[in-house]
Structure 1
């Protein structure tokens, strides 16, 4: 009895840490193993966050995913550590509905297509610099494209010294905010308290003059806070510049946000503008760049699919590459959708029950957190034929239900920038495969690794490229 009790206490104490390590190393394999051991409503304990139930039963997932504000609230699962409480991703009920309505026009089809020429220019410029004749991780140039697109299309920042400073600061901030310092702080405090601490420590840098030299602290946490404060200081300059130029004369997302008004005629406050802009960076940088890498991973390992992509691009763009025409690249769109089915960068979306519910024979109390496993549903054998196979054709035959294919999340909290990301991905992939032959590193076994809040290919997806004659 003594040894059983000791074993149980050891398991209770160290299981959350062990799970965190395993899910970081190979998140997809971890989820497969969790379902095999504990079923389709499985308890998961991770260090630093409350216990969640991982759900992979299709009908229950559909029920929760399509649920209303009255039934569920969004559970961000630690994202509070990285974004402001005013950010759209952390809001619920009428507050969320109003802001979602306000921001939607900036990401509708017409707005997204207007960004196409800028996306194309940036993609070609970065692709011009790809190293040739050597193996390199593709994630680097994909991140470079994504960050430049964000700053140009979303923030409206003109290229120059301030653009490069802001680009470097945002990248450094995101690298460090997902590092051990903030994760440790978020474990000792709550994620919300940790972010509040970071904001408090950022005040000095936030008040710095935009043209003054900037040297961040070397102290743990403070060096992250200094970069965040400096980012806010530079965003203030960009907001002022946009207002001086006249938001009505610009088409970037910041300008559209400055023109937007709530039903009572109020504009968004400066504080909220900052919160939404930084949310868009965090939500669009790693996610899009990693999704690009997963799509490349799938296509270079399936030469017939890649050949079909190239043929389609050649046919659609025979009069010259027009970014507006990427919407007609139907097979490429299907290949992207299929790669996101197999390799979703977000392994799950979570909801907190607002009232007691009975799910899969279990009575769950209000406040219970249920994570809908994107990965497990999108490979569920009852929903997909050959669930582990890359078959873009399945996305052409019939568009899958949003309850079985939801790499951008679903329901009222579906990712605001989904259309923006897909448009960008079509442009980047069409240009990459039109201009280069891409080969995977034969010595590297690619598997998923958790990278912050996203799952990406190990090693950053090592590849070799050569120009197509």
Structure 2
């Protein structure tokens, strides 16, 4: 296997620092030398790993028999401080498969239509309040979208609407995610040695205290809902309390807690970023905005959320936003279990391989002029699940994908149909690290026209 980027040793400090502080630059410079596959020495995985951004090779890695490539949850340890040891992110094998089967029904079918009105109402409330208080000044789009998506996830996951517990949980979750808004503040996620509780004044100490308060609220909610379980309720917690595997076994309190944390953290952070990027490109591209407005007028019933969800140009705009700026840079890692070849290179057992979503989405052979925002490319051809994969792929593909896409489309349709906004950014906005994801630097400024 060719050693790429930096052949000095398996743990080059320069590589580690660059990966944390400038992941996009790191990936782009590597791909210029090694377009399809390269070895990286970056933190968070405990060893060197192989980045792959050739679509057929990614498919090989994510869909091959478990004897060739396994998906051990231990490799997702960077998420463990948030989601514990028992969430869908960190468990593996048959246990992971069973959990997916228990969780997936929450994101399909008639539930989506129920969520549509909620997403619409919360978007209108947030934008109306903002308009009333902003005096037509600039506002930070991502902050507003984070508030909306957090309220959506709290209400869809817990069925919580108002009250002290709802407000407290909302406040604590916001405060906790804001601890990791930049590469500098995210650094402790990549270096376990920095995860030391040195008191409430220390960054990790603050995180631990916030997490403990969130845990207390979630376990209290689980206990009360078990005691007064109503299977008719449509929120995700109620559904999970009713779910059993094929052996008739339900989830323990800890399993429920960890699953809820995974949904809460991953569910609102990523969607807020995706919607923010979409708004940036829509308002930066007048012809795109005009086409969207015309398409939205074709929906006769503005509360027919599934018709809005199925609009082809709106779908293409969302897909192009997720292509050009995928929130997740990488697939979940895989472990090579037996000697295998990828792109003609022999790969030894125990090697970690990972699909690079960001570089895949920037490939000129798949997406001509990849830095150009052109939704039409998704109307002109069909991309395979391993050519376009903003939600990952294989057995660890995002379980909340359907809700995320639905939420994204309803928020965009609501804003475009009800508000006249302007983009305040005069220069192109670049992505930067936010925790383990990529988000727009500065959050993107807009104003009411």
Superposition TM-score, scaled by structure 2 size: 0.89
| Matched position secondary structure for 1:60 | helix
The 1-side partners of 2:208 and 2:284 are apart by 42
Q: Deviations over 1:267-305 (max 9, x none)?
A: 100000000000111211211000001111221121111
Q: Which moved more, 1:271-280 or 1:9-18?
A: 9-18
The 1-side partners of 2:313 and 2:189 are apart by 45
Q: 1:289 aligns with which of 272, 275, 295?
A: 272
Give matches, 1:295-314, under 5 Å: 295-314=278-297
Equivalent position of 2:156 in the other structure: 153
Equivalent position of 1:330 in the other structure: 312
Equivalent position of 1:73 in the other structure: 70
- With over 3 angstroms needed to count, the CA separation of the structure-2 counterparts of 1:117 and 1:337, relative to structure 1, is same
2:48 pairs with 1:51: yes
Equivalent position of 1:41 in the other structure: 37
Question: How far apart are residue 325 of structure 1 and its match?
Answer: 3.0
The 2-side partners of 1:16 and 1:315 are apart by 51
| Matched position secondary structure for 2:346 | strand
Equivalent position of 2:179 in the other structure: 176
- With over 3 angstroms needed to count, the CA separation of the structure-2 counterparts of 1:125 and 1:397, relative to structure 1, is same
Equivalent position of 2:323 in the other structure: 341
Question: How far apart are residue 384 of structure 1 and its match?
Answer: 2.5
Q: 2:141 aligns with which of 138, 143, 146?
A: 138
Equivalent position of 1:16 in the other structure: 15
Q: Which moved more, 1:7-16 or 1:88-97?
A: 7-16
- With over 3 angstroms needed to count, the CA separation of the structure-2 counterparts of 1:428 and 1:11, relative to structure 1, is same
Q: Which moved more, 1:89-98 or 1:419-428?
A: 89-98
The 2-side partners of 1:124 and 1:457 are apart by 23
The 1-side partners of 2:90 and 2:101 are apart by 15
The 1-side partners of 2:354 and 2:159 are apart by 36
Give matches, 1:195-234, under 5 Å: 217-234=200-217
The 2-side partners of 1:116 and 1:68 are apart by 38
- With over 3 angstroms needed to count, the CA separation of the structure-2 counterparts of 1:438 and 1:67, relative to structure 1, is farther
| Matched position secondary structure for 1:228 | helix
Equivalent position of 2:124 in the other structure: 124
User: Quick check: 2:55–2:387 contact (8 Å CA) kept in 1?
Assistant: yes
Equivalent position of 1:211 in the other structure: none
- With over 3 angstroms needed to count, the CA separation of the structure-2 counterparts of 1:41 and 1:77, relative to structure 1, is farther
Question: How far apart are residue 181 of structure 1 and its match?
Answer: 7.4
Q: 1:368 aligns with which of 325, 339, 351?
A: 351
Q: Deviations over 1:91-134 (max 9, x none)?
A: 22111111111111111132222211111111111111233522
- Number of residue pairs matched? 435
Q: 1:267 aligns with which of 245, 250, 256?
A: 250
Q: Which moved more, 1:414-423 or 1:347-356?
A: 347-356
User: Quick check: 1:441–1:462 contact (8 Å CA) kept in 2?
Assistant: yes
User: Quick check: 1:356–1:366 contact (8 Å CA) kept in 2?
Assistant: yes
User: Quick check: 2:82–2:261 contact (8 Å CA) kept in 1?
Assistant: no
Equivalent position of 1:208 in the other structure: none
Question: How far apart are residue 335 of structure 1 and its match?
Answer: 0.6
- With over 3 angstroms needed to count, the CA separation of the structure-2 counterparts of 1:220 and 1:337, relative to structure 1, is closer
Equivalent position of 2:82 in the other structure: 82
Superposition TM-score, scaled by structure 1 size: 0.86
The 1-side partners of 2:33 and 2:139 are apart by 38
Equivalent position of 1:32 in the other structure: 28
The root-mean-square deviation of aligned C-alpha atoms, in Å, is 2.6
- With over 3 angstroms needed to count, the CA separation of the structure-2 counterparts of 1:325 and 1:240, relative to structure 1, is farther
Question: How far apart are residue 178 of structure 1 and its match?
Answer: 7.0
| Matched position secondary structure for 1:152 | helix
Q: Deviations over 1:176-234 (max 9, x none)?
A: 367867844762449xxx6xx88xx9xxxxxxxxxxxxxx9445533322221111111
Q: Deviations over 1:423-451 (max 9, x none)?
A: 11111000111122332224343011011
2:115 pairs with 1:115: yes
User: Quick check: 1:69–1:92 contact (8 Å CA) kept in 2?
Assistant: no
User: Quick check: 1:81–1:186 contact (8 Å CA) kept in 2?
Assistant: no
Question: How far apart are residue 244 of structure 1 and its match?
Answer: 4.1
Q: 2:379 aligns with which of 374, 393, 396?
A: 396
Q: Which moved more, 1:400-409 or 1:355-364?
A: 355-364
